[in-house]
Amino acid sequence: AQTVTQSQPEMSVQEAETVTLSCTYDTSESNYYLFWYKQPPSRQMILVIRQEAYKQQNATENRFSVNFQKAAKSFSLKISDSQLGDTAMYFCAFMTRETSGSRLTFGEGTQLTVNP
């Protein structure tokens, strides 16, 4: 079974600064995907960024980037130039490659608050 751990229940950052959210996971699989999802107060779960385990290059999506350390089973999210709209709950999620669907295992989430 896979597990995902987010050790920071809450974090805050000043607008325009950089913040890093931590995530570790445990799996015996070698081929898998990792995701960061954002859930604002509207409750809509929105994909922020994804990483394929077989790719060594860290994924980047505009102000969002990851630090993927496969040997350490670590997958942190860095948000640069934080904006007020980044305030949300952030979930790290893990998925194995299976032919019949995307089964996501989620961490407990980190509530990020961006302060003006």
Partner 1 sequence: ETGVTQTPRHLVMGMTNKKSLKCEQHLGHNAMYWYKQSAKKPLELMFVYSLEERVENNSVPSRFSPECPNSSHLFLHLHTLQPEDSALYLCASSQGQGGGTEAFFGQGTRLTVV
**Where do contacts with partner 1 occur on this chain (CB under 8 A)?**
4, 33, 35, 37, 42-47, 50, 52, 91, 95-109
Q: Minimal distance in Å, beta carbon 30 to partner 1?
A: 14
Q: How far apart are CA 32 and CA 96, in angstroms?
A: 4
**Judged by CB, which is closer to partner 1: 82, or 107?**
107
Report the run of H or E that residue 104 belongs to, with start and end: strand 104-106
Q: Minimal distance in Å, beta carbon 14 to partner 1?
A: 27
Q: 71-98 in b/e burial notation, b at 16+ Cβ within 10 A? A: eebebbbbbeebeeebbbbbbbbbbbee
**Judged by CB, which is closer to partner 1: 60, or 97?**
97
**Judged by CB, which is closer to partner 1: 36, or 82?**
36
Q: Minimal distance in Å, beta carbon 82 to partner 1?
A: 23
SS3 23: coil
